[in-house]
Amino acid sequence: MSDSLTHVNESWLATLDRVLRGCFVAAENAPDGALAVPLRRLLQLGLTLGVIAGACIGVYALFHGGDAPVLRVVASAIKVPLLFLLTAIVTMPSLYVFSALHRLPVDFRMMLRLLLLSVLVHLAVTASLGPVFAFFCASTDSYPFLLLLNVLFFAIGGLLGFAVLRRALVAVEKEARRILTVWCVVYAIVGLQMGWLLRPFLGRPGVPFAWLRAPEDNALVAILRTIGELFGA
């Protein structure tokens, strides 16, 4: 317990390992307000994992041609960390207000750390699935299949991140978990839509490279359309 507070000089992998094991959010560390996580270390880790996850998605361009394949990989590697950062910025204030409104025993800074920890789990899972995704990129022709696989991998990461956050607040009363569940739904919708706004990540074959595309439709419509594309025409 207390030794988890002192490992400042440990390797990145060791910190990540402890994040994934849920050491930082263990019940005995969480409720006293001071969540002992080196914030800078977490940010660096998150950035690295995001770049890895993004690059694995961008690999699609290397196998499926199109203009500026390297630039597409770079763009994805930049946009995945950005996606998580922007989603956190959008959802954080409302989470704070509603948890303060319900008098949850967590203050803003602790909330930020908890959120960062769960985002880190999310990123770690997604990045760890990155090689699998890259393999599918190399061996699959179907663009809609890869698009949906990408969404699925992000969703799996999100669910595991949510599980960690839930475990962290398990000591707190039922009300807290209810807010958290509602908030996670909001977070998922915002994340999905943010991903849609920051598209392209894969880049549809034949469409010229762009850092961003003009806003149109929304993520849910796009996913339904992609499912239709996969099974239909």
Residues in the site for other proteins, rule: CB under 8 A? 89-91, 93-94, 96-98, 100-101, 103, 107-108, 186, 190, 193-194, 196-197, 215-219
**In sequence order, which residues have a C-beta less than 8 Å from that of residue 91 and are 6 or more positions away?**
183, 186, 187, 190
Q: How far apart are CA 209 and CA 58, in angstroms?
A: 12
Per the listing, tokens 């699959």 go with: 140
Is the separation of the CB atoms in 164 and 22 below 8 Å?
A: yes
Q: Name the minimum Å distance from CB 98 to other proteins.
A: 7
Q: Minimal distance in Å, beta carbon 103 to other proteins?
A: 5
Of 94 and 142, which has the nearer Cβ to other proteins?
Answer: 94
Cβ distance to other proteins smaller for residue 96 or 145: 96
H-only helix segments in 65-173: 69-101, 108-128, 130-139, 143-168
CB of 187 to other proteins, least distance (A): 11
Distances (CA, A) of 10 to 5, 23, 116: 11, 14, 19
What is the nearest approach in angstroms of other proteins to the Cβ of residue 44? Answer: 25
